[in-house]
Amino acid sequence: MLLEILEAEAPMTFARYMELCLYHERYGYYARGPRLGREGDYFTSPTVHRVFGATLARQLLELYELLGRPQEFLLVEAGAGEGWLARDILDYLQKKGLEWPYLIVEPLPNLRALQEEVLRPHGSKVRWVRDFTEIPPFTGVFLSNELFDSLPVHLLEKTSEDLREVYVEVSQGKIREKLLEISRPEILQRVLPYALHWPEGYRTEVCLAYEPIYKELSKKLIRGALLNLDYGFPRADYYHPERHRGTLLAYSRHRVSENPYLRPGHQDLTAHVDFTALRELGEKYGFLNLGFVQQGPFLVGLAVEEVLLEISENTFRDREALKLLVLPEGLGHSHWVLIQARGLHPETELSGLRLANRLNLLY
Ligand SMILES: C[S@@+](CC[C@H](N)C(=O)[O-])C[C@H]1O[C@@H](n2cnc3c(N)ncnc32)[C@H](O)[C@@H]1O
Give residue 37's pLDDT band: very low, low, confident or very high (50, 70, 90).
Answer: low
Which region among 42-51, 110-119, 176-185, 252-261 has the lowest average model confidence (pLDDT)? 252-261
Domain ranges in the chain?
2-358
Mean pLDDT, the chain, integer = 94
Q: Is 152 in the pocket of ligand 1 (CB under 6 A)?
A: no
The finding on whether 251 has its CB within 6 A of some atom of ligand 1 is: no
The model carries a pTM of 0.96
Distance 72 CA to ligand 1 centre (A): 26
3 state DSSP class of 318: helix
Q: What's residue 35's pLDDT?
A: 64
Give me ligand 1 centre to Cα 308, in Å.
26
105 lines ligand 1 (CB under 6 A): yes
Cα(242) to centroid(ligand 1), Å:
30
Sequence-ordered list of residues with C-beta below 8 angstroms from that of 16, at least 6 positions apart, any chain: 9, 152, 168
CB of 146 sitting under 6 A from ligand 1: yes
Phi-psi region of 173 (alpha: psi -120 to 50; beta: other; left: phi over 0): left
267 lines ligand 1 (CB under 6 A): no
Distance 228 CA to ligand 1 centre (A): 12
Give the gyration radius of the chain's Cα atoms.
20
Q: What angle, rounded to 10 degrees, do the helices at 316-326 and 51-66 form?
A: 60
Q: Is 28 in the pocket of ligand 1 (CB under 6 A)?
A: no
β-pairing verdict for 138-145 and 221-233: parallel
User: For 110-158, how does the pLDDT look when each residue is reduced to its tens digit (9 = 90+)?
Assistant: 999 999 999 999 999 999 999 999 999 999 999 999 999 999 999 999 9
User: 109 CA to middle of ligand 1, Å?
Assistant: 13
Q: How far is the centre of ligand 1, averaged over its atoms, from the C-alpha of 268 (Å)? A: 11
pLDDT at 363 over 90: no
Q: Which of 14, 22, 13 is CA-nearest to residue 149?
A: 22
30 Cβ closer than 6 Å to some ligand 1 atom: yes
Pick the atom of ligand 1 nearest to 108's CA.
25
Q: Is 11 in the pocket of ligand 1 (CB under 6 A)?
A: no
Q: How far is the CA of 54 from the centre of ligand 1 (A)?
A: 20
Cα(81) to ligand 1 centroid in Å equals 6
- Residue 43: band (very low, low, confident or very high) from pLDDT cuts 50, 70, 90: confident
Distance 80 CA to ligand 1 centre (A): 6
The answer to whether the Cα torsion of 29, 31, 32, 33 is positive or negative is: positive
Nearest CA to ligand 1 atom 24: 79
Q: How large is the average pLDDT for residues 234-242?
A: 96
Percent of the chain with pLDDT over 90: 85
Is domain 2-358 classified as CATH 3.40.30.10? no
List strand residue ranges (DSSP E) for the chain, in order.
Answer: 12-13, 74-78, 102-105, 126-129, 138-145, 154-158, 163-171, 174-180, 203-206, 221-233, 249-252, 255-257, 268-270, 273-274, 288-294, 335-342
Q: Ligand 1: which of 146, 147, 217 to mutate, most ligand atoms within 8 Å of CB?
A: 147
Sequence-separated (6 or more) residues with CB below 8 Å from residue 36: 42, 43, 44, 47, 81, 82
pLDDT number for residue 355: 87
Mean pLDDT (whole number) for 239-246: 96
Contact 27, 5 (CB under 8 A): yes
